[in-house]
Amino acid sequence: MRLLIAGLIGAIVFFIWGMLAHVVLPIGEMGMQIAVEQDAALAALQASATKGEGVYMLPGIEPEKMSDTAAMTAFAEKYKSQPSAFVVYQPDSNPALASMVPNLVKQFVSNLLAALVLGWILTLGAFSFGQRVLIAGALAVFAWLVISLPYWNWYRFPLQFTAGALIEQVVGWLLAGAAMAWWLGRKVR
């Protein structure tokens, strides 16, 4: 029960922090831009994303051609001076435009699951309050290093977006970790 309550506390704190980071502070939108000519861009995506839902790399080459040196050389030459894009394509409309409630519920559940994992780790040893908070921060940095940094490296996510993700995760999990550390450090009677 102690772990479940710690997880709930951590999830609530991180959820509130996420709301502040995205709604009040500019952290959640760092590096994001609004495209002009959105109708033309969406029409072009509909016409070219013939395989439906998925992640599209522009420019992209079929995996079976990657071992063909001549094809790769021609591909690299053709696109070496062209822009690139990483597109998460959904052929259906975004239901969050009508209501964000389902997305907010899923976000809270994912925060709760993460906080339960963190809480479990924080109960594995006789850690002090400060050590528990540092563990929470270290896990946030770890997650950023294995997810966001590779996206910056391989998929060219903007550095500002990547830095925003670091700030959001580290600050959020330090706050959640402090609340959880306080709860877990209480004397049980």
Structure tokens at 27: 């952290």
Distance CA 162, CA 42 (A): 25
| Radius of gyration in angstroms for the set of CA atoms belonging to the chain, rounded to a whole number | 21
pTM (2 decimals)? 0.83
DSSP string covering 22-65 = IIISSGGGTT----SSHHHHHHHHHHH-TT-SEEEEES---GGG
pLDDT in tens, the chain (189 residues): 899 999 999 999 999 999 999 889 988 888 888 888 888 888 888 888 888 888 888 888 888 888 889 999 999 999 989 888 888 888 888 888 888 888 899 999 999 999 999 999 999 998 999 999 999 999 999 999 999 999 999 988 999 999 999 999 999 999 999 999 999 988 766
Structure tokens at 137: 């921060």
